[in-house]
Amino acid sequence: MQIGTARSWAIFCVAVWLAGTFTVAVVATENFFTIDRLLEAKPNPAFAADVEKLGHDATRELLRYLSSELNRLYFQYWNVAQLAVGVVALWFVIKLPAATKPKWGILGMLAIALFLTALITPFIVSVGRSIDFVPRDPPPANLRTFGLLHVTYTVFDGIQLILGIFVTVWLVKAKD
């Protein structure tokens, strides 16, 4: 494989990785905001009637549960997909001479993806499910733990994103 081709594919893989990370973050956030927008706007008469029957608070809690489950699924799938994309990106980068920085950057990104996949996400899923349908006043004991896990995921995801930007810059600026 030619060096230019390997570099192009490596850049493509990292771009997919970065785009996926950004997309999953936006989708997860919007899933929750959409609930309140729908409940406020009630854009469909059948939906409005169902909200009326079930009650605003119960409907909101049910929809938040659905969004939580969808987000859990999306993050679990995305974590596994990151590992696959990362391995392919690394395979292309290894073919490049003098690509030490990109190689270590991708290894760092893979380490973060593995950490999030194997350790953080399972705990987020478990703790998140334990606080579904639990009243927030007073705050449940696991709410703080969930918040800390969420912040941990977000910080490591941000570090991974920054590493991905550096890897992309290094690959683009590399001279054959």
> What distance in Å separates the CA atoms of residue 74 and residue 22, rounded to the nearest whole number?
13
Instruction: List all residues 6 or more positions away from 21 whose beta carbon is below 8 Å from its beta carbon.
Output: 78, 82, 157, 160, 161, 164
**When comparing pLDDT for 3 and 30, which is higher?**
30
pLDDT of residue 176: 63
Question: What is the percent of the chain with per-residue pLDDT over 70, rounded to a whole number?
Answer: 99
Q: What single DSSP character describes residue 133?
A: T
> What distance in Å separates the CA atoms of residue 124 and residue 72, rounded to the nearest whole number?
8
Tell me how many domains the chain contains: 1
pLDDT of residue 174: 85
pLDDT digits (tens, 9 = 90+) for 105-156: 999 999 999 999 999 999 999 999 999 988 888 999 899 999 999 999 999 9
Q: In which domain, by residue range, is 111 found? A: 3-173
Mean pLDDT of 64-74: 96
Kindly tell me if the per-residue pLDDT of 37 is higher than 80: yes
pLDDT of residue 136: 84
